[in-house]
């Protein structure tokens, strides 16, 4: 069966520090991969998605970037965090265009 792993679960980082969040999927090949951000008490905002290795589409211009170095690995990064980068970050995967996404358990990032 397919599983998605996301880590760390929580992270507290100072303003100006770098960021690296990792997401890996097991049990499937060539998944579509996604990074979402959820502000407290609000909906999910799509940040990046990838349909293949090295292919990244950015939805919202911001202080973040994404990379997909391997088929089942998706990384969210920042060179210098801002206070506004705080939030709940969710990774998700899907296969094909028909089905829904499966989400990871999320990373709660607090920038102080």
Partner 1 sequence: GQQLNQSPQSMFIQEGEDVSMNCTSSSIFNTWLWYKQDPGEGPVLLIALYKAGELTSNGRLTAQFGITRKDSFLNISASIPSDVGIYFCAGRRNEKLTFGTGTRLTIIP
Q: Residue 53 corresponds to which tokens in the numbers above? A: 């290795």
101 binds partner 1 (CB under 8 A): yes
Q: How far is the CB of 16 from partner 1 (least distance, A)?
A: 26
Q: Are the beta carbons of 19 and 109 closer than 8 angstroms?
A: yes
Contacts with partner 1 in 41-100 (CB under 8 A)? 41-46, 49, 51, 59-60, 90, 92, 94, 97-100
Q: Residue 72 corresponds to which tokens in the numbers above? A: 């089942």
Element counts in the chain: helices (H) and strands (E): 0, 11
The site for partner 1 (CB under 8 A) is made up of 6, 32, 34, 36, 41-46, 49, 51, 59-60, 90, 92, 94, 97-106, 108
């Amino acid at each position: 069966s397919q599983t998605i792993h996301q880590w760390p679960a929580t992270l507290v980082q100072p303003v100006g520090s770098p960021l690296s969040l990792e997401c890996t999927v097991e049990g499937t090949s060539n998944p579509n991969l996604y990074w979402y951000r959820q502000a407290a008490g609000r909906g999910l905002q799509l940040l990046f998605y990838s349909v293949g290795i090295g292919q990244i589409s950015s939805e919202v211009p911001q202080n973040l970037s994404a990379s997909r170095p391997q088929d089942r690995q998706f990384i969210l990064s920042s060179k210098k965090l801002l206070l506004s980068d705080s939030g709940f970050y969710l990774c998700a995967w899907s296969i094909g265009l028909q089905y829904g996404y499966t989400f990871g358990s999320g990373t709660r990032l607090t920038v102080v």
